[in-house]
Amino acid sequence: MPKYVDGFLLPVPKKNLKAYKAMAAKAAKIWREYGALDYRECVGEDLKPSFGVPFPKQMKCKTGETVVFSWIVYKSKAHRNAVNKKIMKDPRLAEMCDPKNMPFDMKRMCYGGFQVLVEI
């Protein structure tokens, strides 16, 4: 069965990583509870490649920021839509997503849905 992935890329101030990790751990629990197959949050470590455009440059990171690369796996796009519909009604998400208390600038977050092309 083909899978579907929501992908996220966002700049996070390094001083806020602890708060971001706590928020992400709560989010992961909620997404898995509603049926997501996998949920990953990864913080940049080796961000000075010898080729291509480095993530911090592409994200226009400011001094003191790093990049978080995240993805959530679903059975299909329809499954993703059903899961997210339930999650958006969950009061726990509303509590976590107050724009005044976010550990990153939501306006700079990149997001997209992807059909899996290759899986080994």
Return averaged pLDDT per consecutive 10 residues of the chain, 120 residues in all: 91 96 96 98 94 93 97 98 95 82 91 94
What is the reported pLDDT for 1?
Answer: 58
pLDDT tens-digit series, residues 92-110: 988 887 777 889 988 999 9
| Rg of the chain (C-alpha set) | 15
Detail the DSSP E strand segments found in the chain: 4-13, 38-43, 65-74, 110-115
